[in-house]
Chain A
């Protein structure tokens, strides 16, 4: 049996063909690099994704910061992790790399800030 995949590891988006027999992966063709085969193996056994979303920030120059996960989580836990992240409210200032939730829902993945939000004061231009 041949199953087709689109690799999502990088923007090249290689079209992969996985040759399967009795549920076992025999080989993968079409991959531009070795990450393609690893991606297919993961997709077959336990598909994983990273997600990015926003978290409320109080007293900041902006109402939101952005976050993502330190490592991928099982695809089927995306919406439960989103619900956990939604419960959080941060206070400015927040910094890139701040951990909002460690080991979210026991996935081993941390929710990490990706945008600095300064506290609400008037920051003037330099020149």
Chain B
């Protein structure tokens, strides 16, 4: 079995950034494993503009953003495998993978989980009705159109106002389809407001909040959907049904971190993020197994994925050199307005970037880090919405390691 310092599972934005940063920090014995036939992950199909404003101070398309990292991988001669699937990661960091050359095992000092996330599908919503062709996730439609040169339909209805759905509303319109409407079950959009503006309003595509699809009709191909209004508990209101004739239903109804390999390795997941529970080093409960990017928690912007993976790589490089990392006894607690924080525990050894999201939209609020009455940090926010990830820095010298850290917003 081949020994290796760092094995990275996934060649998307998180894996690429982690690989390049590990190399810069002196860890050269790396292997990056990717199941697709080229590096870049989901960025390859995200051809729209707007990536890189934080990380590179430039507005790039997804493929350009990915290429900046791929170029580094090539220049640094970091080894990678494509068309290779990781089958298993064990708790003692043995990684089993397979490709056309057969099965191979690696014993890694550190395993970096960077598998990203997948989309929720019709199955996870349980929409009643028939099972015709023409019902697909926004990411699947994006792959058909932007990677494989296949148009998905002509008369389109979109369920869910996630960013990929909004981006696809515009993309489908540019390619000649008619997007009738976007329906969102929640009372606020789940995508960024700039995407509502430039993807829907620019093309006169209506967005209906508190509406959902309650019926799918068509025998071989989709013929129509039934849409209903919903009450505060998201229950459809009888009598509000409306039928929309369409041949395509695009679902943009959320993303789920892809953690099957993590579970096999004994990694404990957080029910709120559906990603691993990690400490400030992005280390999971299994020593030497780290996670960052969308496999850890779903991000709003790829820039934050890259920067999180770079912070992971900094810690993982210390782990590889020293064999251990400072324990993180300070558990982070949140109030009921905050849905989660990442990481979930910290030490007082370094300043830590806390990423979090709010459950409901808030305006003119104050985000606070405190231990009991003692306020460590506060940040005034004009607005906070669930669609946007928030970050706040917890400074090491203010922390009392005998108390939990409370994160509240008011």
A positions within 8 Å CB-CB of B: 6-13, 15, 32, 49-54, 56, 61-64, 66-68, 75, 78-79, 82, 96, 114-116, 125-127
- Looking across the interface, which residue of chain B has its beta carbon closest to that of A62? B147
Is the Cβ of A7 less than 8 Å from the Cβ of B174?
no
- Main secondary structure on A side of the interface with B: loop
* A63 CA / B53 CA spacing, docked (Å): 29
- Looking across the interface, which residue of chain B has its beta carbon closest to that of A5? B197
Chain A positions within 8 Å of B382 at CB level: 32
* A114 CA / B174 CA spacing, docked (Å): 18
| The residue from A13, A52, A96 contacting B192, defined by CB atoms under 8 A apart | A13
| A-contact bits for B134-167, CB 8 A (1 contact / 0 none) | 0000000000011111000000000000000000
Provide 7 A-B residue pairs closer than 8 Å at the C-beta atoms, listed in order of the A residue.
A6-B194, A49-B202, A54-B146, A66-B63, A68-B61, A114-B60, A126-B80
| A-contact bits for B26-63, CB 8 A (1 contact / 0 none) | 00000100000110000010011110010000001101
Is the Cβ of B196 less than 8 Å from the Cβ of A6?
yes
| A-contact bits for B50-91, CB 8 A (1 contact / 0 none) | 100100000011011001000000000001111110000000
Chain B positions within 8 Å of A8 at CB level: 194, 197-198
* A2 CA / B124 CA spacing, docked (Å): 44
Chain A positions within 8 Å of B237 at CB level: none
* A2 CA / B38 CA spacing, docked (Å): 50
| The residue from A13, A62, A115, A125 contacting B47, defined by CB atoms under 8 A apart | A115
Is the Cβ of B49 less than 8 Å from the Cβ of A68?
yes
* A94 CA / B279 CA spacing, docked (Å): 43
Is the Cβ of B64 less than 8 Å from the Cβ of A125?
no
Interface centre among A7, A12, A66, A116 (most CB of B within 10 A): A66
| Interface: B3 (CB within 8 A) | no
Chain B positions within 8 Å of A6 at CB level: 193-194, 196-197, 201
The size of the chain B interface, using a CB distance under 8 A, is 42
* A82 CA / B64 CA spacing, docked (Å): 21
Name the 4 nearest CB pairs between A and B, nearest first: A66-B47, A115-B63, A13-B193, A13-B194
- Looking across the interface, which residue of chain B has its beta carbon closest to that of A64? B149
Is the Cβ of A63 less than 8 Å from the Cβ of B81?
no
| Interface: B300 (CB within 8 A) | yes
Chain A positions within 8 Å of B99 at CB level: 125
| The residue from A11, A15, A51, A125 contacting B50, defined by CB atoms under 8 A apart | A11
Chain B positions within 8 Å of A96 at CB level: 63-64, 67
Is the Cβ of A63 less than 8 Å from the Cβ of B148?
yes
| The residue from B63, B84, B146 contacting A125, defined by CB atoms under 8 A apart | B84
Chain B positions within 8 Å of A10 at CB level: 50, 53, 194
| The residue from B37, B38, B49, B82 contacting A52, defined by CB atoms under 8 A apart | B49
* A110 CA / B38 CA spacing, docked (Å): 28
The smallest beta-carbon distance between A15 and chain B, in angstroms, is: 7
Interface centre among B61, B192, B196, B300 (most CB of A within 10 A): B61
Chain B positions within 8 Å of A15 at CB level: 193, 383
The smallest beta-carbon distance between A53 and chain B, in angstroms, is: 6
Is the Cβ of B301 less than 8 Å from the Cβ of A114?
no
Chain A positions within 8 Å of B79 at CB level: 126-127
Chain B positions within 8 Å of A52 at CB level: 47-49, 61
Is the Cβ of A114 less than 8 Å from the Cβ of B64?
yes
* A123 CA / B250 CA spacing, docked (Å): 34
